[in-house]
Structure 1
Amino acid sequence: MTLPISPTNPTNAFTVPSVSITIARTGKSAKANELGMRGMQERAYAKRGEQYLLIKSPPASGKSRALMFIALDKLHNQGLQQAIVVVPERSIGSSFADEPLSQHGFVWDWQVAPQWNLCNAPGVDEPRVAKSKVDAMRQFLAGTDKTLVCTHATFRFAVEELGINAFDNRLIAIDEFHHVSSNPGNVLGGQLGAFIARDKVHLVAMTGSYFRGDSEAVLGPADEAKFEKVTYTYYEQLNGYQWLKSLDIGYFFYTGPYVDAVAKVLDPTLKTIVHIPNVNARESLKDKEREVNDIMHGLGEWKGVDPATGFHLVKTKDGRTLRVADLVDDSDPARRSRVLAALKDPAQKHNRDNVDIIIALGMAKEGFDWIWCEHALTIGYRSSLTEIVQIIGRATRDAPGKERARFTNLIAEPAAEQGAVAEAVNDMLKAISASLLMEQVLAPRYEFTPKNMGPKEGFDYGDDGYKDGGRNIGVNNDTGQIHVEINGLITPQSPEATRICKEDLNEVVTSFLQDKTVLERGLFDKENTLPEELTQLRMGKIVRERYPNLNEADQEAVRQHAVAAMNITQQAKLALIQADANGVGAGGGTALIDGVRKFVNVRDLDIDLIDRINPFDAAYAVLAKAMDEKSLRQVQASIAAKKVSIPEIEARELANRALKFKNERGRLPDINSADAWEKRMAEGVAAFARYRAQAKASQAQGESSHG
């Protein structure tokens, strides 16, 4: 990571403070084995015998084809009758069209008869129209054909009408699995739970973002434990590209109409998808057609519409003619269909000049494949972190000559005269949260061990090699993993805790970043918030709630690993920010590793030290560059004013931490201590004692009144 990148926009003087993830371009992501499988697909296929399989892999890594390989093996070698592929929306059904896999070395071809791709059937997915699709599902289940593709909605209706039992001995593959939720109100989630309880089907779940924007769990702990996981990281995917070598992630604060800000940051020389806000959003100007027209006017002079594609033709000041696809205007269904058909035309997939700018509202996100996209420009905070990740995924496809991609989030800056300051701050926090999450998702995976456990096989420790007692940083050049030794680190004991520490730390960090209190305190109330309140109390609470079946020691191990993963990534970024400010910035494919080494070399890493670092220090450094100082102070004041006395649940956790302190040091924390964290624990003990006394008094009063 390097910062600030501030990519140059040749049309104006504005730059966007960004974090840049630089990658090595090994080309491995595109290399296929003798069966025609790329790296992620080969990894998933190795688990093809599992009854319940969860594939977590980023956009463009080949999840659709991975499923084809697995499904065909289950049909031919594992005795399953049929395979049903379930996608969130009809347009994604095209990802599961016929594929001649045998031409690339596989045993069988993937084929879906036209009548069984229900995504292509006429009619929208709502109950009145869905009956014909449910009837088609019934016919399919009674027949001998092997594969069917339908939407989540069609599948829900079919299960409701036909019952769980009708799907016995079949593979159900759910694409974009983050649409499922363990919340009782989520119909598909409830049906999935019923399938798992009956235990008569095979399930393959696929997602590029295994978390939800509403912070609900996708699966309950008991159900999730039944799934074998295949994890292919964003870093592995991007690092293995042939062309793309860096991704910039930034946010830009604006005042006034957002269309004016778009004109400042939209570079017409880049292939760009612009996502405008929903008409009900705070940022919307309440006239989506005018907003699109204003954006096009900012690009140049309108010269008409291409009759073949429906694309607008806009002449720029330098004489080029841009082809702009408007996916917002739905007043003419025929023209809209013509535009969509032109964007999806297979003959144009490898034509970089087919379209230059796409302007969208609810489309061109999940599952939309335009490999040439270099810039995803989004106005306002979208509905969820998941949506942001999906939008960023539109720009992270590898394509010839495409060396750099970027994501820019335009955020309305809270203004002093603005009535809805709280709403503006909330959107801003979510945008920063999404940026931090992507930094974590895009970072290499860490392999943490206690000090002096010895070198790990496959890791390069530099010219001097591994040294006992030294500050050792090992790098696995094949996987991009980084081995870091930490004093006092607890090692997970159970297989599940070990797996979580190796594969699921990003899910834990996501829950942390979706905690509004964490963001508010960590970013804007740093003077009154001790880092341990975030790293120990809030992260500890998140881990306990997420993994209630782990014992206390394993919960603490997961907490420590999650805090270490986030803080080391952020401190590496901060080290590079400071180096860049001093004119000695790092670059190239080793930028993040260089940042980790800079951080480690100035500190003896200890878990207590890591717990005493505010995870948002680096984010604040970026924010201070991007935001007007007056507005920043206003936000800080509004957050600080909300601080309340220690809530009971936090007092209980502080008391627990105080007990550990006593076990380690032979005394309770001192409320007059000069150490801020020791003082805070003592305050927590006192607060918890007050809560207990109040509870006893209430109980006694209740008994007295009944006596």
Structure 2
Amino acid sequence: MTINIKSVPTVSVAYGRTGASTKANELGMRTMQERAYEKRGEQYLLIKSPPASGKSRALMFIALDKLHNQGVKQAIIVVPEKSIGASFNDEPLSDYGFWADWTVVPKWNLCNAPGGDDGKVGAVGTFLASSDRVLVCTHATFRFAVDKFGVEAFDDRLIAIDEFHHVSANPDNKLGSHLVQFMARDRAHIVAMTGSYFRGDSEAVLTPEDEQKFESVTYTYYEQLNGYEHLKQLDIGYYFYSGSYADDILKVLDPNEKTIVHIPSVNSRESTKDKIKEVEHILFSLGDWEGVDQATGFQLVRTPEGKLLRIADLVTDDVGVRDKVSASLKDPAQKNNRDHVDIIIALGMAKEGFDWIWCEHALTIGYRSSLTEIVQIIGRATRDAPGKTRARFSNLIAEPDVESAKVSDAVNDTLKAIAASLLMEQVLAPRFEFKPKKPQNEATPGFDYGEGGYDPEKCNVGFNEDTGKIEVEIKGLQEPKSEEAKRVCREDLNELIASFVQDKPAIERGLFDQELVPEELTQVRFGKIIKDAYPGADAEDLEAIRQHAMAAFNLVQQAKKAAEEERSGPQLIPGEEDRGPNTAFVDGVRKFLNVKDLDIDLIDRINPFGEAYSIMSKTMSEERLRQIKAIIAGKKVKLSIEEARDLTKRAVQFKQERGRLPSITSQDPWEVKMAEGVAFMQRMKAEAERG
């Protein structure tokens, strides 16, 4: 069957190439590392920063200060797998201006030690009793060591957890439960690092109570990529196909791009259930096989154009061959050799911690259920390298087959792919700072307010090129009161948006319910998600957080829409040929504001999934969309007690503002919805009184 590839949706983000990400200060620290080092005195530190931003070295700086200046006895670096242990090898930091070097006695890098975890756990005990300062081990070794020696054995020591998203608040997660014990004892220092931290992923990483104890350092994707020297554009595409992906994979796989292909899990519907044949099919689609390079184990394939491709197969079941190929990919002598390998085919490998700076295209077949995994895969392509000006991530998804018995699963995958794209748009965009529009407001130093400058008579949009922040004034915006709510509005909006876009009822209704009143999602549904995330917060702070998060989500969508109208194709930020500030995204926000007098009620009246549906409707047939709508409509759930209670609260607020309750006969659909909530609660009360 012929593949018919359509993108749902495609995002193109252009960056300014300021070089700031790689510039070092007098201590040899890049921007992110300097920001983290400023918080080195914190006992609990959470570093949220993209792949390749220098988290490993940031930890070295912090750990050395804790060991030399803060009375910490030892530093224990905990990584998810042995290969990542190499990130913490010796570094001559003094060569770049720091006051000490990072050294690890070889026997204490347990990632390099032979044998299983049993012997390594004993080594941890020996280390704790020694005068040496630094140990590196895997998450597994550390878990077993805590079980054996108890949390008190780690008093007055630094525990640094790399790839922190592996931790979970689930009681069955051993590392997570150990973390809770460490924080309850309050004697160890903890530095947690991750490039992909989503509370909205499958399980919470930390409970809200424990998370409040951490001081966060956030370095955004926008800051990282905008500060590169070479990479200036990142494209993200979600492609739906019918038939077998292997038949026409070359519609998305360009043999001239350095590519990592992640084939589907054998349990996914995209899989043919024979991973070896899938790899062979990809090889033969690319050209004629010419044997194996004996030195590296790479497959050699000649394309019809005559180019010899060097392809690394990490899927093979032959452990010896796979280990040889894996070792060749990690050969430090080849790190800067662009021609060492052309394409890597993997299944469970070449994701987290895998460093191949030349990768231009991360092609993933089949939906990945974890947003964290998607971010990690995209991170493989977002390294900066000479001559590499463009990178892309493509996710190839099987189009829903409404005749299939598993149509519900297929529709769910479609919705999840759209949800992931919406979140990535959010992650890749500049960061928002919202402030209520007030008569006494003035221009904020360092922000450019566009042609004409700051206008006290209207809502303004300012852009700070150095920080990549956008300041937006909104009428009626509620400000957070508590320090924690302020922190959430400053640090956690993307995590909350992740929870929202992964919420099945929200995205189903947002895309396919033609009777939807947007406030049902933006206020009621999102309000519940916020409340569940921060159960201890008061009502005013919860509403302030909800407003800030929804403003961030909907303004990105509206900026994207404005940019689309300027160019063909759905582009978040149109590309620019020259170096310099990239203001297209800001211009999109300003264009939206010029048409509308921005207030929070207007933002709540926008369906946050409207733009995604608009793009989807251009790429799927009308018949297929109609069939999916029918499936979603068949699952429509009536008003719940919790939703009715929330609507009633908003009806009370409506009465306070307008002097009357919402009317069921109003022309305003949101007012009608609030009235329905009041009527529902009245019926429930009457039924309860009747017994």
1:428-482 per-residue CA deviation (whole Å, 9 max, x = no partner) reads 1111111111110111111111114221121011231101112421110101111
- Deviation of the 1:587 alpha carbon: 4.1
2:496 paired residue number: 508
Matches within 5 A, 1:385-534: 385-452=371-438, 453-525=441-513, 527-534=514-521
Q: In structure 2, how many angstroms separate the alpha carbons of the residues matched to 1:394 and 1:196?
A: 33
Q: Is the 8 A contact 1:213 1:383 kept in 2?
A: no
1:294 equivalenced with 2:286 (yes/no): no
Q: Is the 8 A contact 1:212 1:385 kept in 2?
A: no
1:75 equivalenced with 2:62 (yes/no): no
- TM-score when normalising by structure 2: 0.96
- Deviation of the 1:181 alpha carbon: 1.2
Matches within 5 A, 1:33-182: 33-123=25-115, 129-182=116-169
Match of 1:644 among 626, 637, 641: 637
1:411 partner letter:
I
Q: Is the 8 A contact 1:118 1:149 kept in 2?
A: yes
Q: Is the 8 A contact 2:199 2:498 kept in 1?
A: no
1:9 paired residue number: none
1:552 paired residue number: 539
- Deviation of the 1:13 alpha carbon: 10
Q: Is the 8 A contact 1:241 1:398 kept in 2?
A: yes
Q: Is the 8 A contact 2:12 2:574 kept in 1?
A: no
1:636 partner letter:
K
Question: Which deviates more, 450-459 or 24-33?
Answer: 450-459
Q: 2:567 aligns to what SS in structure 1?
A: helix
2:579 paired residue number: none
Q: In structure 2, how many angstroms separate the alpha carbons of the residues matched to 1:419 and 1:180?
A: 36
Percent identical pairs in the alignment equals 66
Q: 1:493 to 1:564 in 2, by over 3 A?
A: same
1:591 partner letter:
A
1:542 equivalenced with 2:529 (yes/no): yes
1:244 paired residue number: 231
Structure 1 regions of 5+ residues with no counterpart?
A: 1-11, 124-128, 701-707
2:391 partner letter:
A
1:284 equivalenced with 2:271 (yes/no): yes
1:337-391 per-residue CA deviation (whole Å, 9 max, x = no partner) reads 1111110011111111111100000001111111111111111111311100110
Matched length: 680
- Deviation of the 1:393 alpha carbon: 0.7
- TM-score when normalising by structure 1: 0.94
Structure 2 regions of 5+ residues with no counterpart?
A: 577-581
1:314-348 per-residue CA deviation (whole Å, 9 max, x = no partner) reads 111111001100000022x2221111111001111
1:63 partner letter:
K
Q: In structure 2, how many angstroms separate the alpha carbons of the residues matched to 1:284 and 1:213?
A: 27
Q: 1:551 to 1:85 in 2, by over 3 A?
A: same
Q: Is the 8 A contact 1:376 1:408 kept in 2?
A: yes
2:310 paired residue number: 323
1:536-586 per-residue CA deviation (whole Å, 9 max, x = no partner) reads 011111111111222211111110000000000001111222332599995
Q: CA RMSD in A?
A: 1.7
Match of 1:573 among 560, 579, 594: 560
- Deviation of the 1:199 alpha carbon: 0.3
1:644 partner letter:
V
Question: Which deviates more, 210-219 or 547-556?
Answer: 210-219
1:269 equivalenced with 2:256 (yes/no): yes
- Deviation of the 1:14 alpha carbon: 6.4
Match of 1:620 among 613, 616, 638: 613
Match of 1:607 among 595, 600, 603: 600
1:343 equivalenced with 2:329 (yes/no): yes
- Deviation of the 1:21 alpha carbon: 1.0
Q: Is the 8 A contact 2:13 2:575 kept in 1?
A: no
Question: Which deviates more, 543-552 or 79-88?
Answer: 543-552
Q: In structure 2, how many angstroms separate the alpha carbons of the residues matched to 1:621 and 1:671?
A: 30
Q: Is the 8 A contact 2:22 2:227 kept in 1?
A: yes
Match of 2:218 among 228, 231, 234: 231
Q: 1:119 aligns to what SS in structure 2?
A: coil
Question: Which deviates more, 203-212 or 34-43?
Answer: 203-212
Question: Which deviates more, 549-558 or 209-218?
Answer: 209-218
- Deviation of the 1:213 alpha carbon: 6.5
Q: 1:268 to 1:310 in 2, by over 3 A?
A: same
Q: In structure 2, how many angstroms separate the alpha carbons of the residues matched to 1:261 and 1:322?
A: 19
Q: In structure 2, how many angstroms separate the alpha carbons of the residues matched to 1:626 and 1:99?
A: 50
Q: 1:120 aligns to what SS in structure 2?
A: coil
Q: In structure 2, how many angstroms separate the alpha carbons of the residues matched to 1:162 and 1:266?
A: 51
1:593 paired residue number: 586
Q: 1:625 to 1:94 in 2, by over 3 A?
A: farther
Q: 1:509 to 1:583 in 2, by over 3 A?
A: closer
Q: In structure 1, how many angstroms separate the alpha carbons of the residues matched to 2:669 and 2:451?
A: 41
Q: Is the 8 A contact 1:471 1:601 kept in 2?
A: no
2:551 paired residue number: 564
Q: 1:467 to 1:214 in 2, by over 3 A?
A: closer
Q: In structure 2, how many angstroms separate the alpha carbons of the residues matched to 1:556 and 1:512?
A: 15
1:366 paired residue number: 352
Q: 1:404 to 1:195 in 2, by over 3 A?
A: same
Q: 1:312 to 1:536 in 2, by over 3 A?
A: same
1:604 partner letter:
D
- Deviation of the 1:212 alpha carbon: 5.5
1:254 equivalenced with 2:250 (yes/no): no
